[in-house]
């Protein structure tokens, strides 16, 4: 089993290299000369040439990439064109805010979705099930920036209960968390329900009942553990994408997180920041997905056995 973990960790490295390669080149290939864009208006040709040298754009791209990779090993992802701050530090400064929002949203989502999904599955076809599914579908179909704006209209402008943006107190996190959480809840409820439905018809539940296990325990202990795999997958992917920054929500609520950072730097063509942030975000996601894979083994002993024997990867999520 440990061999499997090590092997997966090692496999992260080519993925990270691949991603950084992809991102670096895509951004570099962008048409338009970066230097002339960030140079001051009245710069002369020589001054532009100097800038070019200073930023290293006169070197061939592979060399630049090599230097970048070397820097990455030291935690140096370059320096922002705009602020002059090191990219890595800027990212890390914003990360806690994103973390807070992410965990708040996921927490709310899990607390609501799993019981609701179980309820829906157990009462399949009844009004409880139908209403839940309709509401879930509505939640999925709503663009989250719209929801955020509506919440602002209702709670900030009309009722004056909650702040419409910014950061600082507990009240500030409520609306953003609801905004992000709604989409998460909708998806997770559907997943939970669908997974439970698959499990509910299994024979081993009948065996449990024939032993005299109370119905509640049959569902919550025997059935649920078997239904967890798809649920864990979805929570994992949701967490990963939240940790990368909820760009839209952060924009709507002026939440100083990583997502806003990326967006601002794209708009101001702050190449090192964009590149660095995307790479960081992708690394975060890959690590979370690895944890999800490992979590499977904890929940399902058959998968644990697979990992232990093959020492190979489980593909095809």
Q: Contact residues for other proteins (CB under 8 A)?
A: 15, 18-19, 22-23, 26-27, 29-31, 124-125, 134, 137-138, 140-143, 145-146, 149-150, 152-153, 157, 194, 197-198, 202-204, 206-215, 222, 225-226, 241, 244, 247-248, 251, 262-263, 266-267, 269, 274, 278, 281-282, 285-286, 289, 299-302, 305, 315-316
Q: How far is the CB of 179 from other proteins (least distance, A)?
A: 13
Tokens found for residue 264: 């601002």
Residues of the chain by 3-state class (helix, strand, coil), percent to 5? 75, 0, 20
Which C-beta is closer to other proteins: that of 152 or that of 180?
152
Tokens found for residue 153: 């209209």
Instruction: For residue 126, report the phi and psi dihedrals to the nearest 5 degrees.
Output: -85, 180
Which C-beta is closer to other proteins: that of 50 or that of 300?
300
Q: How far is the CB of 133 from other proteins (least distance, A)?
A: 8
- 7 CB-near residues (< 8 Å, 6+ apart): 311, 312, 313
Cα–Cα distance, 308 to 317 (Å, whole number): 18
Q: How far is the CB of 227 from other proteins (least distance, A)?
A: 10
Which C-beta is closer to other proteins: that of 60 or that of 301?
301
Tokens found for residue 246: 């909820």
Q: How far is the CB of 260 from other proteins (least distance, A)?
A: 11
Q: How far is the CB of 114 from other proteins (least distance, A)?
A: 17
- Which of 234, 238, 280, 290 lies closest to 257 in space, CA to CA? 280
Q: How far is the CB of 315 from other proteins (least distance, A)?
A: 7
Q: How far is the CB of 146 from other proteins (least distance, A)?
A: 3
Q: How far is the CB of 226 from other proteins (least distance, A)?
A: 6
Label residue 56 exposed, middle or buried (CB < 10 Å: 0-12, 13-18, 19+): exposed
Contact present, 92 and 245 (Cβ < 8 Å): no
- Which of 196, 188, 195 lies closest to 241 in space, CA to CA? 188
Which C-beta is closer to other proteins: that of 50 or that of 304?
304
- 205 CB-near residues (< 8 Å, 6+ apart): 199, 218, 222, 223
Instruction: For residue 123, report the phi and psi dihedrals to the nearest 5 degrees.
Output: -105, 40
Count of CB atoms within 10 A of residue 260's CB?
Answer: 22
Which C-beta is closer to other proteins: that of 89 or that of 251?
251
Which C-beta is closer to other proteins: that of 173 or that of 252?
252
Which C-beta is closer to other proteins: that of 27 or that of 99?
27
Which C-beta is closer to other proteins: that of 27 or that of 43?
27
CA distances from 147 to 183, 198, 309 (A): 10, 32, 48
């Amino acid at each position: 089993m440990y061999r499997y973990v090590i092997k997966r960790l090692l496999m992260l490295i080519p993925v990270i290299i691949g991603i950084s390669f992809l991102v670096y080149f895509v951004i570099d290939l962008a048409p338009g000369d970066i230097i002339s864009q960030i140079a001051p208006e009245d710069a002369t040709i020589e001054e532009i040439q100097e800038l070019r040298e200073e930023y290293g754009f006169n070197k061939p791209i592979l060399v630049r990439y090599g230097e970048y990779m070397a820097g990455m090993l030291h935690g140096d992802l370059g320096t922002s064109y705009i602020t002059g701050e090191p990219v890595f530090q800027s990212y890390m400064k914003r990360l806690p805010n994103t973390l807070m929002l992410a965990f708040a949203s996921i927490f709310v989502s899990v607390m609501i979705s799993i019981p609701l999904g179980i309820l829906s599955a157990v009462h399949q076809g009844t009004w409880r099930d139908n209403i839940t599914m309709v509401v879930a579908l509505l939640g999925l179909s709503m663009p989250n920036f719209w929801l955020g704006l509506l919440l602002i209209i209702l709670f900030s402008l009309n009722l004056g209960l909650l702040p419409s943006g910014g950061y600082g107190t507990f009240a500030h996190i409520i609306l953003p968390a609801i905004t992000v959480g709604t989409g998460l809840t909708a998806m997770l409820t559907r997943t939970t329900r669908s997974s439970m439905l698959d499990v509910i018809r299994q024979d081993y539940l009948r065996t449990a009942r024939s032993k005299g296990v109370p119905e509640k325990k049959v569902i919550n202990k025997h059935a649920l553990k078997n239904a967890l795999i798809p649920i864990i997958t979805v929570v994992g992917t949701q967490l990963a994408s939240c940790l990368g920054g909820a760009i839209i929500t952060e924009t709507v609520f002026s939440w100083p997180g990583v997502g806003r950072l990326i967006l601002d730097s794209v708009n101001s063509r702050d190449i090192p920041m964009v590149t660095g942030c995307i790479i960081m975000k992708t690394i975060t996601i890959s690590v979370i997905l690895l944890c999800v894979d490992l979590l499977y083994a904890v929940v399902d002993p058959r998968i644990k056995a697979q990992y232990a024997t093959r020492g190979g990867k489980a593909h095809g999520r």
